[in-house]
Amino acid sequence: MSAVDTVVAPAAVRSARAVDADSLRARMTRKVQHGGWFVAPFLVLFALFVLLPIGRGLWLSFTDSNISGTDASFVGFDNYREAFEDPLMWDTLGHSAYFTLLVVPCIVVLAFLLAVLAHHIERAKWLWRLCFFAPFLLPSTVAANLWQWLFNPGTGMINHVFGLETPWLTDKSFAMIAVVITTLWWTVGFSFLLFLAALQNIPQHLYEAASLDGANAWHRMVHITLPMLRNITGLVVTLQVLASLQVFDQVVVMQDFGPGPEESTRTFVQYTLEQGFTAYRVGYASAVSMIFFLIIAVVALGRMWLLRKREEGVR
């Protein structure tokens, strides 16, 4: 490639280039500038569909705007005050948090176990990857419909196979569990692939050296595999926490777009959208969105802070 040509260029050419270095540097600087054009198309879209909505949401959150956007008047912090005093907001936030607390540990553990299993089977590796990852390729709504059908009282296969009579979708204590099981089946494949990739990146010689020192399989797992997977586990946990707090699709489809038994599965996203699109309170819904944005930002920044702290610790 061209890099190689440069290295092996005849000495004469090289010295000629050295003479020309100043003008070259000038030319390169000129070319290096105006890079703004590369970034411009993205910036336009980013400004229109990320920055503008944030700004607009912030502005709307201080008004009593309705869906048509006309006749909005400034109401100060009223929307925020109302949101913090609305028990429904806290309930729905609680439901999303409850879902997150249930689903994240399950996904991390299951994805890890599946990855270890798939990593150690020496035959038909493609088959395990295909099976565990395939559900992730379904749209969320299809996965939700499928499990709604499996959990269906009377005709549902789950109760039939396990000889249960559990009212999965219609009882307060099971409704969220049903969503968790659905989500686990549907999304574990993604985290599974991340763990699998990380497992394959662990240098083999570490295991060989440990074996020579007489470490058994359990020791190798605890002292090599787990520490080597620390970063990826942190990443999987963060991604899953962020995604789970934003849960919406599966829940509404499984509960036919309703709030679930005794309103036990209405999530935070659902609450926001109901305020905005059903109650037409765009101003209020924007305030709630801003609160949500802040929560998400705190989680994401928390992860970055932890990473930086660890890096400093290593140094």
What is the per-residue binding string for other proteins in 164-203, x denoting contact by CB under 8 A?
Answer: ---------------------x----x--xx-xxx-xx--
Residue 207 interacting with other proteins (CB under 8 A): no
Total residues interacting with other proteins, rule: CB under 8 A: 105
Q: Which of 27, 81, 172, 219 binds other proteins (CB under 8 A)?
A: 27
* 54 or 222: CB nearest other proteins: 54
Assess 248 for contact with other proteins (CB under 8 A).
yes
Q: 138 phi and psi, to 5 degrees?
A: -80, 145
Choice from 62, 95, 112, 156 touching other proteins (CB under 8 A): 156
Minimum CB distance to other proteins smaller for 14 or for 81: 14
- 84 contacts 302 by C-beta, under 8 angstroms: no
Task: Rank residues 28 and 101 by Cβ distance to other proteins and give the closer one.
Answer: 28
Residue 51 contacts residue 61 (beta carbons within 8 Å)? no
Query: In the numeric block, which tokens belong to residue 256?
Result: 């036919």
Among 165, 256, 311, 312, binds other proteins (CB under 8 A): 256
Binding segment toward other proteins, per CB under 8 A, in 52-60, 163-171, 205-213, 258-266: 52-60
Q: Which of residues 71-100 bind other proteins (CB under 8 A)?
A: none
Q: Report the candidate in 45, 12, 225 with the shortest Cα–Cα distance to residue 119.
A: 225
Number of H helices, E strands in the chain: 18, 0
Which of 97, 98, 167, 246 binds other proteins (CB under 8 A)? It is: 246
Q: How far, in Å, CA of 60 to CA of 48, rounded?
A: 16
N- to C-terminal Cα separation, the chain: 37
Helix ranges (H only) for 134-171 are: 140-151, 157-162
Contact 188, 114 (CB under 8 A): yes
Q: Pull the structure tokens for residue 310.
A: 């660890």
- Which of 26, 109, 130, 279 is close enough to bind other proteins by CB under 8 A? 130
Q: At what angle do helices 282-314 and 52-60 cross, to 10 degrees?
A: 130
| Nearest distance, CB of residue 123 and other proteins, angstroms | 6
Backbone angles phi, psi at 52, to 5 degrees: -60, -50
**Closest to other proteins by CB, 175 or 283:** 283
Tell me the closest approach of the beta carbon of residue 76 to other proteins, in angstroms. Answer: 18
Please report, as residue ranges, which positions from 272 to 311 form the binding site for other proteins (by CB under 8 A).
272-273, 275-277, 282, 285-286, 289, 292-293, 296-297, 300
Among 123, 205, 309, 315, which residue interacts with other proteins (rule: CB under 8 A)? 123
Using DSSP's 3-state secondary structure scheme, residue 74 falls into strand
